Amino acid sequence: MSAGPAANTHHPPPGAASADFRPDPAESGTSTPAANAQSANAGATGAVIHFAGSWRLERPLPSLDTLRATLQRHGALQQLRFDTSRLADWDSGLAAYVAALQRLCEQQGIHCELDGLPAGLRALLALTGGGQRRNAEEGIAGEHVEESRSTFVRRFGLDIIDLFRSTGEIMAFFGEGVIALRRFLHGRARFRRSELWLIIQESGADALPIVGLVSFLVGMILGYIGDQQLAQFGVRIYVADLVGLGTVIQMGALITAIVMAGRTGAAFAAQIGTMQVNEEIDALRTLGISPMEFLVLPRMLALILMTPLLAIYADLLGILGGAFVGTTIGGLTLTAYLIQTQSAIAWNHIAQGLISATVYGAIVAASGCLRGMQCGRSAAAVGQATTSAVVTAIVFITIAAAVLTILFDAVGLS
């Protein structure tokens, strides 16, 4: 910085950045001194800082220390203005300099008038907003303190309210999905058929290994627990009934749904959430394309179609897992085990599992797409939407399982 007292005769090279502190003529009535000189009238209440030359980061920028000392000498100053009429060009270096000067003036109780700065620089300073940011941080800190001091009853009530609000949002989303499905049945839905087949492959064939592994292991667990208990009564053959009925009626569909919630539902939330961050969903609405039809409908159709098929696959692997335990630990023959399983399972049991799987698939798709559509505009929001999608899907799958069990018993399907 080439600046000094009034008697300083040093001049910066042409085009170099310089900042001159001068009394405001409107305040002091004095004439402005020569360029590149700092001077102040002790009785003046206002001053002007003149910026000249090129203020870019690749050039050496003036130091703020001399200007700080000048401000401290003139404690009567109340207002500081800026003159950029001789400013050649600038970048973030000038913005950082002015922001630091603002903080310095705040410490000394001097008001900074920013009207003399370029419009772009004023916009940058408004974004940084030092004082406003501190006030906001203090407000947020106050909210955290208030929240930490809230009672258990208040927190519990707020959680219940959030639960009901979330339930209402999911029901409304289901309603919009049903409307989109009706438009699809009438041939009026707008989406890419190629994307539907791609989602069917990703949520169907690609999920076979994980669904098969988990189902086989759960079938082994059920078979082992059942064999331990039934061996006390000498009826180990009924392990086939226990594993077969439990898997076909409920466990196969539940295992499939939970695996799909953690695998496919989370992927749906991340995909749509990323599109929300990139404003692609806003672009679809601008083009007059419904995101519900273009994005949500193919995903709901894919899971509604593939979850029952995956549930049948899970039932078969679960029964084989129970058969493995029955033949290796229970001493049963494979033929006897399979015949007992066939005699225990009826068509109404298979129907219960398929209906449940269809409902679970719709819940997983709706939960993932809903949380993706509700995603914020940041990368952290995408992660939160993914987590929320999995939690929402599992909670509503559990609720749906209880409700469907009661309904099946009421209509005589069990």
User: Which domains can be identified in the chain, with CATH numbers?
Assistant: 18-139 (3.30.750), 168-411 (no CATH)
CA distances from 371 to 179, 184, 360, 389 (A): 19, 23, 17, 6
Residue at token pair 């076979």: 208
Alpha-carbon torsion (376, 381, 386, 391), positive or negative = negative
Q: How far apart are CA 305 and CA 155, in angstroms?
A: 40
What is the structure's pLDDT at 149? Answer: 58
What is the structure's pLDDT at 217? Answer: 95
Half-sphere exposure in the Cβ direction for 97 (13 Å, CA): 24
Judging by beta carbons within 10 Å of its beta carbon (0-12, 13-18, 19+), is residue 226 exposed, middle or buried? buried
Whether 117 and 19 have beta carbons less than 8 Å apart is answered as no
What is the chain's mean pLDDT, rounded?
80
Tens digit of pLDDT for each residue in 325-349?
Answer: 999 988 889 999 999 999 999 999 9
What is the structure's pLDDT at 82? Answer: 83
Judging by beta carbons within 10 Å of its beta carbon (0-12, 13-18, 19+), is residue 59 exposed, middle or buried? middle
What is the structure's pLDDT at 76? Answer: 67
Whole-model pTM: value is: 0.62
Tens digit of pLDDT for each residue in 206-255?
Answer: 999 999 999 999 999 999 999 999 988 888 899 999 999 999 999 999 99
Q: How far is CA 337 from the centre of its chain?
A: 49
Half-sphere exposure in the Cβ direction for 173 (13 Å, CA): 23
Mean pLDDT, 10 residues at a time, the chain of 414 residues: 35 54 47 32 63 78 74 72 81 81 79 81 72 45 50 83 79 84 84 87 90 95 92 90 93 94 92 90 86 89 93 95 92 91 92 94 91 87 91 92 92 81
Q: How far apart are CA 41 and CA 14, in angstroms?
A: 28
